Amino acid sequence: MEKTNRRNTLALISIMLGAFISLLDTTIVNVALPDITTALHATSETIEWVISGYALAFGLVLILAGRLGDKFGRKNIYIIGITLFLIMSITAGFATSESSLIVSRVIQGLAAGLFFPQINATIMDIYSGKKLGKIFGILGSVIGVGTAIGPLTGGLLIELFGVTNGWRAVFFVNVPFVLVTLVLATLYMPKRTISKNKISFDFPGILLLTTALLLLLFPLISSGANDFKPLDYLLMALSIPVFIVLYKWSVIQDKKGNQPLISPNLLKNNQFVSGMLLSLVYFAAFTSIFFVLSLTWQTGFDRSAILSGLAISPFALGSVLAASNSHRFIAILGRKLLMLGVILVIVGLSTVSIVFHLNEGPFSAWLLFLPLFIAGIGSGLIIAPLNSFTLSTVEGIERGGASGMFNTAQRIGSSFGIAVVGSVFFRTLGNTAATSKASAFSDSLQMSMYINIALLIVCFLLIFRLPKNI
């Protein structure tokens, strides 16, 4: 029994490390963007693709990867995905051009999407009952922490290795984590996870979803600081009929007894759809915060990467404290916990916007400590419980597909947030009448914060659609 528990613990460490590095890479690159811009002569479109391309590729492959794990074994797919992630981390670190970095980041995102679904499934293979709920709580905390400490970690690496090689170290830092993960996964992840049931792969559904999202997001990301062209509007408009075709295709496949990429039954579950949309919108608001703050603090205020990371670190601190204790409040407050979390994030970001408004130029990072700490607490109260609230609305037999759709919504939300908020940020920067670079960036950040706050208000309204308790 003790030997089994030890194997389970080491397997858990392996997959938790995988979860950590995959989410760390969504934000750690933010503080490296100014140095990447200088080193590779990158445009605003490139730096958006470096962040958003990773998240988009991550999200697109999640549901397919879950079925690959069922078909060929979770351990096998996890090891393949984590190995590809390792290779792409190295190629990104050695990138010598904009295109090579973007390609590495997109494939790195695909690799993360390949191994990430095996994490939830493996946890359910190993644990059950109350222990399962506790482990998922730990996973939620790891995801929140990994996302939140990215900017500080990136800042420390750039400070340690310098502006020339520091941004490369941001990618190379994955290597030791991945090597440990590979060894532990090879030795201790359970092998008995290949499903005996017939597993089908909805490749037309994957193609339709990919096409629809690219039509919607490509114009937003690629336009950067430039104004939209008529073709951009046309491409975004074309995404609507493709989404409709995807839904119709899914209905047809479901009636035939196949396994469509998007389950029509889940889309009929209003509470689940509300939770999925809430997750998408929240991650759109949440992830983009680090993007605009890092650019403003470094490029606009000429501060170092480490100071940029430290300026944002109160958010990480608040998020860690709240996420690690959120399970204690779920039973008492129910969905009011999510409401409280969103309110705290809105209050925190509104105060951040006010601080930038009252200071035309650079100011002490201490002025941001309390508002970012409050916002971080709110974020920690949202991320960990939201998974439980949403999946509690789904019957056990459908929870695998629901978990895939839910995680896909988070990653697509991150990509969408960077695309929309980044587009607003760069356009405001290009059109502002501010007299100095610092005030121009400050104006752009404030405009971006308005978008974030609007998205958070949508989140608050969606919470009413969730069950009152898990």
The pLDDT tens digits for 62-110 are: 888 888 887 888 899 999 999 999 999 999 999 999 999 999 999 999 9
Query: Does 206 lie in the same domain as 60?
Result: no
Helix (H) or strand (E) segment spanning residue 417: helix 399-431
CATH number at residue 274: 1.20.1250.20
Model pLDDT, residue 4? 63
Model pLDDT, residue 325? 80
pLDDT band at 400 (very low <50, low <70, confident <90, very high): low
Model pLDDT, residue 84? 97
Query: Does 18 lie in the same domain as 161?
Result: yes
Residue type, 87: I
Query: Does 183 lie in the same domain as 254?
Result: no
Cα–Cα distance for residue pair 369/361, rounded to 1 Å: 18
Domain that holds residue 242: 200-261
- On average, the pLDDT of the chain sits at 87
Name the domain count of the chain: 3
Q: Give Cβ neighbours of residue 397 (< 8 Å, ≥ 6 apart).
A: none
Query: Does 334 lie in the same domain as 462?
Result: yes
Model pLDDT, residue 66? 82
The pLDDT of 326-354, averaged and rounded, is 91
Asked whether the predicted pLDDT for residue 462 surpasses 70, the reply is yes
Asked whether the predicted pLDDT for residue 150 surpasses 60, the reply is yes
Domain final residue pick, 173, 197, 221: 197
**What is the token pair recorded at 234?**
């046309």
> What does the pLDDT look like over 164-200, one tens digit per residue?
889 999 999 999 999 999 999 999 998 765 555 666 7
Query: Does 238 lie in the same domain as 156?
Result: no
Query: Does 362 lie in the same domain as 238?
Result: no
Query: Does 430 lie in the same domain as 299?
Result: yes
Domain final residue pick, 197, 223, 238: 197
Cα–Cα distance for residue pair 234/49, rounded to 1 Å: 21
Cα–Cα distance for residue pair 428/273, rounded to 1 Å: 33
Cα–Cα separations (whole angstroms), residue 322 to 120, 142, 233, 276, 328: 22, 12, 41, 22, 10
Query: Does 460 lie in the same domain as 354?
Result: yes
Model pLDDT, residue 94? 96
Query: Does 352 lie in the same domain as 208?
Result: no
**What is the token pair recorded at 130?**
């109350």
pLDDT band at 470 (very low <50, low <70, confident <90, very high): confident
Query: Does 344 lie in the same domain as 219?
Result: no
Domain final residue pick, 261, 287, 312: 261
Q: Give Cβ neighbours of residue 398 (< 8 Å, ≥ 6 apart).
A: 263, 265, 266
pLDDT band at 244 (very low <50, low <70, confident <90, very high): very high
Model pLDDT, residue 224? 61
- Could you tell me which residue, 92 or 361, shows the higher pLDDT? 92
Model pLDDT, residue 36? 93
Query: Does 247 lie in the same domain as 176?
Result: no
Query: Does 92 lie in the same domain as 79?
Result: yes
Asked whether the predicted pLDDT for residue 377 surpasses 70, the reply is yes
Model pLDDT, residue 192? 60
Helix (H) or strand (E) segment spanning residue 230: helix 230-255
Model pLDDT, residue 193? 54
Asked whether the predicted pLDDT for residue 226 surpasses 70, the reply is no
Determine what percent of the chain falls in helix, strand and coil, rounding each to the nearest 5. 85, 0, 15
Residue type, 278: L
- CA count, 13 A, side-chain hemisphere, 11: 25
